[in-house]
């Protein structure tokens, strides 16, 4: 069977969903230890009830979602206070993506799990990494990092990983926003979430990056609205 045919099969996409979660665990992020220690002291972070991210709509525009539960041992290793692992498929199409959202009040736990660190640790080769400036569905600027990975020989597997952070409603492609806040001792960060969108690089009707971008601009406002509302509700009750 040709690689193009294999990558388009739903079974491969389910396998990729699990791979994304497992790959997140491989990176140690030692280079961020000093910054992480400073971030650990920031106050004002809001602990959301577990399952909050599960409130994200299953139907996002032309995309239909299906939960892809992770093994409990994997969940514990991610160091998240809440997470979402879901596969979304485009209706009346063949494209599909894996969405993983990580939420935590301890930034030093979330920061090490960066694609450029974790995926090579899981056996993938980083082929390219670049910043891409998108425009979310609500018109907000959405800067992201797009990574291309491969694994194998002649018939290598290739995936695209789109990654960004939502910090108090502001989008950032990396931890630079957190770095800027860390040097201001009085700064409070109410919430931070990491969003990763992964898909096979070869899809029938579009490239993996095109598919990841299309899904990202549609889901970003929904994720931000969910987090902002949940944080506000918890803060009001306290």
Q: What is the 3-state secondary structure (H, E, C) of 93-139?
A: CCCEEEEEEEECCCHHHHCCCCHHHHHHHCCCEEEEEEEEEEECCCC
> What is the residue extent of each domain of the chain?
3-237
pLDDT tens for the 238 residues of the chain, in order: 333 344 445 455 545 544 554 444 443 333 344 444 444 444 467 888 889 999 999 999 999 999 998 877 776 666 678 899 999 999 988 899 999 998 876 666 566 678 888 889 888 999 999 999 999 999 999 999 999 999 987 778 999 999 999 988 999 998 666 656 555 554 577 888 999 999 999 887 889 999 999 999 999 999 999 999 999 998 887 6
For tokens 């029938």, the residue is 204
With tokens 């063949």, the residue in question is: 94
| Separation CA 145–CA 163 (nearest Å) | 5
Does residue 214 contact residue 63 with C-beta atoms inside 8 Å?
no
DSSP for residue 206: S
Structure token pair of residue 185? 């001792």
Separation of CA 14 from chain center: 16
Which residue in this structure is represented by tokens 């803060």?
A: 235
């Amino acid at each position: 069977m040709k690689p193009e045919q294999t990558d388009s099969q739903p079974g491969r996409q389910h396998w990729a969903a699990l791979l994304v979660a497992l790959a997140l665990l491989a990176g140690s992020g030692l280079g961020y230890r000093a910054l992480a220690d400073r971030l650990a002291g920031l106050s004002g972070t809001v602990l959301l009830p577990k399952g909050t991210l599960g409130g994200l709509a299953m139907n996002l525009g032309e995309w239909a979602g299906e939960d892809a539960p992770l093994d409990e041992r994997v969940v514990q290793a991610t160091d998240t206070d809440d997470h979402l692992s879901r596969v979304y498929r485009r209706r009346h199409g063949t494209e599909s993506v894996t969405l993983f959202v990580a939420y935590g009040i301890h930034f030093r736990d979330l920061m090490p799990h960066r694609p450029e660190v974790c995926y090579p640790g899981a056996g993938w080769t980083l082929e390219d990494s670049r910043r891409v400036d998108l425009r979310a569905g609500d018109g907000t600027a959405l800067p992201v990092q797009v990574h291309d990975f491969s694994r194998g020989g002649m018939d290598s597997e290739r995936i695209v990983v789109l990654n960004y952070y939502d910090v108090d409603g502001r989008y950032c492609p990396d931890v630079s926003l957190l770095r800027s806040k860390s040097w201001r001792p009085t700064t409070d960060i109410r919430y931070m979430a990491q969003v990763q969108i992964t898909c096979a690089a070869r899809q029938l009707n579009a490239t993996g990056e095109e598919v990841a971008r299309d899904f990202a601009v549609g889901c970003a406002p929904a994720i931000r609205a969910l987090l902002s509302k949940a944080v506000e509700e918890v803060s009001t009750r306290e």
